[in-house]
Amino acid sequence: MKLNRRTFHRTAGAGLVLMPFYKLFDAKPARAAAGRARRIFIFHTQPCDTGVWKPTDVTGESNFSLPEMWKAMEPHRPNTVWVDGLSPKRPQDNHYSPHALTGIGREGRPDKGIISVEQFIGDKLEATPEKRPIKTLLVGTGAAGEAVFYRDNSRLQTIASPLSAYNTIFSNEATATGPSPSVLLKDRKSILDVIRQDISKLNGALGASEKQKLDLHLESIRQFELRIADNMQKGATACSKPMPPDNDTGSVKQKTLADMAFIDLIVAAFACDITRLGGLQWGNSHTWRFDTPNGLKNEYHMGIIHVGRRAQAVQIETWLTEQFASVLDKLKAIPEPDGSGTLFDNTLVVWTRDFGEANAHGSRDMKFVLAQGQGGYLKTAPTGRYIRANSSNKRQERVLLNLIEAMGINDFTGFGDIGADFKPSKTPMAELAA
């Protein structure tokens, strides 16, 4: 068979155009690399009464009962790990200590370089292809001057206005530039059509065996075409600009609704790949006033914790658990554009708290809840996992190191405790990693 130069150049050129799309043609869906997550969602609240929070009837890490406040998490148990028994370097620290997300308490650091975990991860991602228009998206109406997010030894301000957060996420500066997904889809399909037409012109010069091979080849191209269309459509559907949120935060009720709306905004930012790091802070370590849609109204710290209203503590913690579960539900409902499951499969969600025991006002029992879908960083079990840290290495910072490791970062230099005495133990909790 003899090809003229014009036909050869046209076909070869079209083939070269396909090179950027080869990853989409892989018969196996692309997943996050083993032992990794693509995103971190931090859900941060005040401390909780240990008796309200703690699993019961524990006979093994996968055999335990969840107390009343965790009812909304029952469907998510196969994807969830509860961790407690941890403490920072200074377990006597409570209010206003920076240790929740930094691994450092009031002891500080000699270089005054206290930084929270999402900022540390964001800095590392800046020099990689994982860099996104918004490095970290930090929101919450009640953090005020007591945000748990740190940089250069100073607290960062959260975005307290839902409309401001919306405009930050979906401004022209934040969203990706270039043709819309529908335009890209049209162009990419047309490229495949051109290739098919070119190859079809060779059909007359082929024998029966070669024609059969060509037909199979053309059919495979068509399947690739359909896969691209499906993936692009999923991406276009997942990344949709929502309607602007209500910006009224003049009352406690409106602030509570605003914090609920922030969940949707972070998930939307994840779906559009505008950021890989989101944090929502409910209240601060001294106060959180709430007025929920189901009729719960109070101030959590002085109105419930300090006066021993345990039944009310269970009620508001149950409501917070429902909001945490809604994060997981929303992430599960959105497919990844590349076919690698859902956003939840590639997002590590973590519930953190200001200090350990709300009733005792100490940090000897720091609590974390981590959740992620299948095939990600987190080691899960069909009935969930409950890990009570052992006495050999109970430092709370280690869970924060897990978040860093989950994002593919193994150099912890500059984060947390930089003292020589902790250096040999500065490792993530191996029990958490799959």
Rounded distance between C-alpha atoms, residue 119 and residue 121, angstroms: 5
pLDDT at 391: 65
Q: How would residue 377 be classed by pLDDT, with cut points 50, 70 and 90? A: very high
What spatial distance separates the first Cα and last Cα of the chain, rounded to whole Å? 54
pLDDT at 206: 75
Q: How would residue 223 be classed by pLDDT, with cut points 50, 70 and 90? A: low
pLDDT at 236: 52
What would the mean pLDDT of 60-75 be, rounded to a whole number? 98
Beta strand pairing call for 347-353 and 366-371: antiparallel
Position 103 pLDDT exceeds 70? yes
Domain residue spans of the chain: 39-161+247-432, 177-245
- For residue 434, what are its two tokens? 């799959």
Q: What is the mean pLDDT of the chain?
A: 85
Q: How would residue 32 be classed by pLDDT, with cut points 50, 70 and 90? A: very low
pLDDT at 352: 98
pLDDT at 345: 97
| DSSP secondary structure, 102-141, as one string | HS--TT--TT-----HHHHHHHHHTTSTT--SSS-EEE-S
What would the mean pLDDT of 332-336 be, rounded to a whole number? 96
Q: Nearest to residue 395, comparing CAs of 420, 431, 364, 368?
A: 364
Rounded distance between C-alpha atoms, residue 274 and residue 211, angstroms: 46
Position 17 pLDDT exceeds 60? no
pLDDT at 50: 92
- For residue 296, what are its two tokens? 């719960």
Greater model confidence, 229 or 293: 293
Residues in the chain: 434
pLDDT at 240: 84
Q: How would residue 337 be classed by pLDDT, with cut points 50, 70 and 90? A: confident
- For residue 308, what are its two tokens? 């021993």
Q: How would residue 22 be classed by pLDDT, with cut points 50, 70 and 90? A: very low
The structure's pTM equals: 0.81
Rounded distance between C-alpha atoms, residue 309 and residue 27, angstroms: 57
Position 228 pLDDT exceeds 50? no
pLDDT at 238: 75
Q: Look-up: residue for tokens 């080849």?
A: 217
Q: How many other C-beta atoms lie within 10 A of the C-beta of residue 209?
A: 8
The pLDDT tens digits of the residues spanning 252-289 come to 999 999 999 999 999 999 999 999 999 999 999 999 99
Q: Nearest to residue 412, comparing CAs of 131, 422, 369?
A: 422
Give Cα 259 distance to the centre of its chain. 17
Q: How would residue 338 be classed by pLDDT, with cut points 50, 70 and 90? A: confident
The highest-confidence range among 58-67, 192-201, 221-230, 350-359, by mean pLDDT, is 58-67
Strand boundaries in 134-215, DSSP class E: 137-139, 150-151, 154-155
Position 184 pLDDT exceeds 50? no
Beta-carbon contacts of residue 68 (< 8 Å; ≥ 6 apart):
314, 318
The pLDDT tens digits of the residues spanning 286-330 come to 999 999 999 999 999 999 999 999 999 999 999 999 999 999 999
pLDDT at 212: 72
Q: How would residue 194 be classed by pLDDT, with cut points 50, 70 and 90? A: low
Asked whether the beta carbons of 279 and 42 are under 8 A apart, the reply is yes
Position 13 pLDDT exceeds 70? no
The pLDDT tens digits of the residues spanning 118-173 come to 999 999 999 899 899 999 999 999 999 999 999 999 999 999 999 999 999 998 54
Q: How many other C-beta atoms lie within 10 A of the C-beta of residue 412?
A: 20
Residue type, position 290, single letter: F
pLDDT at 382: 97
Asked whether the beta carbons of 180 and 239 are under 8 A apart, the reply is no
Question: Which CATH class for the 39-161+247-432 domain?
Answer: alpha beta
